[in-house]
Structure 1
C-alpha cells in the first residue's frame, strides 16, 4: 500500500508540473517545475520497481536525471 501511495503522489507531481507549465503558471526553467519532475520521477520509479515495470523505471530514471541536471544548472546561476 505504501508504494501505491508513493506511485500516485509521483504521478500527481509530474502531472501538476505539466499542468502548471502548460497554463503558464510556472516556467519550465523554474526550480519548482524541476523539483516536481524530480520527486515525481522518484515516486514512479519506486512504484514501478516494486511491480517489475522496467520500461517505466528506465523512463523515469531518465526523467530524474534530466530534472537533476536542470536543477544543477539553475543552482549554478
Structure 2
C-alpha cells in the first residue's frame, strides 16, 4: 500500500500526514490568536521543536513569520 501511494504521489504516508499537520497549523496561524505551542499541539505535533522543523521544511520559514502583525501585538499584550 505504501509503495503504491509513493508511486502515485511521490511521498510516503508519513510525509503526507506531516504535510497535512503543517497545513492545519498554517490555517490555525491564519485564523486564530492561539500561541504557537498550542497550535503545534492542536495540529498533532508532539513537540514545538518538531513543529518548527516540519513547518520550516515545508514552507522554508518558521511558523511565527506567518503571524499577522496585528495578531502579534494582541498576543504580546495579553
TM-score range, shorter chain: 0.3 to 0.5
Larger radius of gyration: 2
Task: Kindly indicate which of the two structures has a greater share of residues assigned to helix.
Answer: 1
Greater relative contact order: 1 or 2 (C-alpha under 8 angstroms, separation 6 or more)? 1
TM-score by length of 1: 0.39
